[in-house]
Structures are given as C-alpha cells and as structure tokens.
Structure 1
Amino acid sequence: MISFNYETDFELQDEARYEEWISEVIESEDKTEGEINYIFCDDEYLLQKNIEFLDHDTLTDIISFDYTMGNLISGDIFISVERVKDNAADFNVSFDDELRRVMAHGVLHYCGYKDKLDEDSTVMRSKEEEKMKLFHVEQ
C-alpha cells in the first residue's frame, strides 16, 4: 500500500497515477509492495528530521527510513518540496521530473541500490532515469 501525506500546502495531482507508477517501479525490480508512506514537507520540517534521526544539520531533498524485509518493500520517505523546487531550477529540469526522480530514488534505496560511492551513484542515476520513464506523461 502506498500512501501520500502532506506536512505542507503542496499536494500531488492525481495520486492514483503516482501510486500505480510506484507499484510498477517496485514490480519492475522483482520486489513485493509493502507499506510505503511518502511525506511531503518543507525544508524546516525535513531539517528537524535530519537533525533528530541522523544527526545531520543540513538541508536535503529526501530522507528515507527503510523497513524492507527481504523482498517486501516498505518504508517512510520524507521529501522536501522546497529542495525539489530549488534542485529542479539548479538542474534545469521541470519540478515534476525532479519530484519523480526523488520519489523513485527513495524506493530504489529500498530495492538495494546505494549512492555513496561514485560507481553506485552512477548506477542509481541510471535506475532513476529508467524508472522515471515508467511514469506515462499524458501529452
């Protein structure tokens, strides 16, 4: 089950499409969907989580808490909408594309992909691109 929660005034348009897409991402990795909670928030909210749980006093776009057991993918994914907006501008991509990249990123961590080392980061970026293509944008 995938759920979307909001700690800011942002809300996803067409949650059902996003839920279907994340399910497809998980299935494409031969994993089983458990409980995944997306929590959309602002910088301040996520900074407090970063300090409280990870002892990092820095802004970030995503923090994920992985509760995956075997192939059953579960966890809480906190996303700062403010960071996503700023990063979209910095990377010269649309907000929607950057948001989908970050949403896929969290789930990919649960599927076993890492991004701390350069070679792992390259694989993660490739997987993000692959999974973003599964989101069918209506023309």
Structure 2
Amino acid sequence: MMNKATDNIQFHYLDQRFHFPKRNEVKSFLNELFRKEKKKLEGLSFIFCSDEYLLEINRNYLQHDYYTDIITFDLSAPGQGTTGEIYISIDRVRDNAQNLNETFSYELHRVIFHGALHLCGYKDKTQQEEILMRKMEDKYLKLYFGK
C-alpha cells in the first residue's frame, strides 16, 4: 500500500548490492525539508548506482571526467513545483564515509540531503556557497538523527 505523503519520492536501485532500509522515514523527512525551505515538491527520484554508472552521466551530461558521489538534475517546469532526479554513487558514499570516519548511513543521508538542498536553490561552487551548504546539511542531519 502506498502512502500519499511519500508517493512523490521514488527510490531506484541500479546497484543491486544496496537497498535503502528506512526509505519511508527518509521520504517523509525530505517532504518536511522541502516544506521548511518553502519549496513545493512535485516529484523526486533517487537513483542509487555505481561509480562507473555515475561517471558516464558526469561525462555525457556535464562534460566532467571524474568520479563524484552525487549528481542532481532539476527537471522542474517553470511555475511548477520542484521535480528532480538525484543520482548517488553507493561506491563513492562508502569510500567517503570511510575516509571521513563516518558511518555509511550518516554519509548517505548527508548526500541525500545535499541533493535535496540543491533542488531548494543552494549551490556549492564558491567557498561561501559551500560553507552555507555544509551548514544546511548539518542542520538537517541533526534534525533527522537528533544529534
């Protein structure tokens, strides 16, 4: 049975080694994040994939030839609510978690919230934008995890 409050967010697994355990909890929280940011969320798809899959997207769509943990596409129509696709490399999230001495779950949620924040209008191209993005990620991680 589908939950109307979370129907607008879908999770897709191209990396068959990964399955999101508490997805309805995260979907509800993401809807709350968009409400707090005063953005109407129409639809959001998360695609969990491998490094190689995301590298191809990075090359083909952004002309970047390097690995990344996330790519966010804003597919919103003018005058409509937010619609987007967020591709996340499970390989990168695992490596980043290990390198940052964080749990996989915590780092995964950071990346998920990062993508959502991009769709809310936050950028991370300049140092000042990156500082604000980290602050917002931390805010929502604290709200979600309660720490």
1:7 to partner: Cα distance: 0.3
**Please, what TM-score do these two structures have when normalized by structure 1?**
0.93
**Please, what TM-score do these two structures have when normalized by structure 2?**
0.88
Aligned residues: 137
1:93 to partner: Cα distance: 0.8
1:57 to partner: Cα distance: 1.1
Q: 1:62-84 CA distances to partner (integer Å, 9 max, x unpaired)?
A: 00111234572210000000000
- Determine if contact 1:88/1:95 at 8 Å carries over to the other structure: yes
2:47 is the alignment partner of 1:5: no
**SS state at 1:3 partner:** strand
What root-mean-square deviation, in Å, do the aligned CA atoms of Structure 1 and Structure 2 show? 1.3
Code of the aligned partner of 1:122: I
2:51 is the alignment partner of 1:29: no
1:131 to partner: Cα distance: 1.1
**SS state at 1:134 partner:** helix
2:4 alignment partner in structure 1: none
Structure 2 unaligned blocks of 5 or more: 1-7
2:131 is the alignment partner of 1:122: yes
1: distance between equivalents of 2:80 and 2:93?
29
Structure 1 unaligned blocks of 5 or more: none
2:103 alignment partner in structure 1: 94
RCO higher in structure (CA 8 A, sep ≥6) = 1
2:70 is the alignment partner of 1:50: no
1:14 alignment partner in structure 2: 22
2:90 is the alignment partner of 1:81: yes
| Percentage of matched positions with identical amino acids | 41
